[in-house]
Structure 1
Amino acid sequence: MNFELKANQPYPVTISGTWVWLKFATAEIVMETNSGERVSIPKGSVVKNDALLGRVLLHSPQDQIIDIQFGKGDFQPPTDGQRVVIESAPPLEIAQNQSVDLGNVPALTLESGQSVKIESLPPVEIASNQYMAVSLGTRPVTLKKASRARARGGNLPMSIPYRSTRLKITIKADANNTGDVIVNGAYPLSPKETIELEYSGVVELTGAATDSAYVMDCY
């Protein structure tokens, strides 16, 4: 029960019980019984009596709102900071449209033979300077191999068309070139230099009209 006490003003309350628990208060209060006995009650304390306390007066040194509980028989109030150890619990079922917030959970330790199965996850955002390591286990990975290869060569300029099935294209500049072969207007290939691209789009080779290049198109 909540009561609003004014500083240095007695507040009459009828206690129909043999004990009183000051559950909440910002300052210590004083309880005065019908016999004139005064008892100081700090926050969280319990006052017990053999008989019903009846009508009492509550005094406070300051304005405050208090919460007192009372009853009959024996009573032991809970203590802040007490630890509860749960050794076993029944299975937990989440009903439809309910959810569990795991925003702050302690570290979990799995015993030998135990495992955790995650069926779905929300989108994951990787912050700056963070990374994610992905292990593929021991499952064999099959790499797709080309079934055809087309070779060609000629003077510049040269255009290699788009091929959707292309796996790799190899470009080599002729050893006798007097200048660089320019790939797609920017990347230079010196004489005898080779480049391999995993690219299916159009490739344009430019340079001096007297220079040449060789192409191996794998698909």
Structure 2
Amino acid sequence: MQLDFGLGMTIPLTLASEWLFIEAVQGKLEIEIQETGERVKLGRKSLYKSKKGTFGRLLITGSGQVELEHGTGDFTPPVEGQQLAVQSMPDVTIESLPPVTIKSLPQVNIANQPAVEIAPNQQITVSQIPAINVANGQQIGVNALPNVELAAGQQVGVTALPAVTIAEKQYVRIESMPVQKIAANQFVGIRRSKVLATEEVSVFPHDVPINEERQKLILKAPSTNTAPVLVGAFSLDAGERLEIESVAAMTLMGSAGDTIQLMEW
């Protein structure tokens, strides 16, 4: 028979047996015979025989896992290393165990846990995550996320976001957005781009340098020009205008006496 004890736990047990043999135990096993009030402590490989027939109801107190044998008639404990063979056992009644109340659990320090390495082509699949409550003043930091796929009918709700900083040459692509509702007293602010520079060029060739902040460049050839102005291999005739969305450098070529107007932002 095997019994598992919590720390300081007592298990009531009724045995119609005349002897009790402790095969394995951590420390000592305390046994109280309720009928006689007798108390004994037994260690590993201990044999105890009843002085008045069968034991009846016992209160057994121990710790950890306990292995014991019991029966009637004569019994000789086996020599260390031999097997114990029990031909028959009387009826055993185990009464209900007392309730165990856990008032507190120790904190878990994740910082001290060993690193977990995922081999190439391996992955971890999480099919379900329980609700997570973040207390006031607490926060969750996520440094990187893999691709997230949402099944049909699923959605992600975000009630608040911290400040988002996009590094140089990074971008965020939004393919679709749900309907946006603006509550009373809320507003959406749109910052307009400012004009970076305007000028009129009459000396050619004219080099337009690289401008990483440029969003758009507008070139206009006045109607008074007598010849086309070349933007690279592109010809801009008198009265025409050209809008270029590029930060690249370019060279303008024109005829003496002609001009071209530039505006960039």
TM > 0.5 fold call: no
Instruction: Pick the structure with more strand per residue.
Output: 1
TM-score (norm 2): 0.30
Structure of higher RCO (CA pairs closer than 8 Å, 6+ residues apart): 1
TM-score (norm 1): 0.36
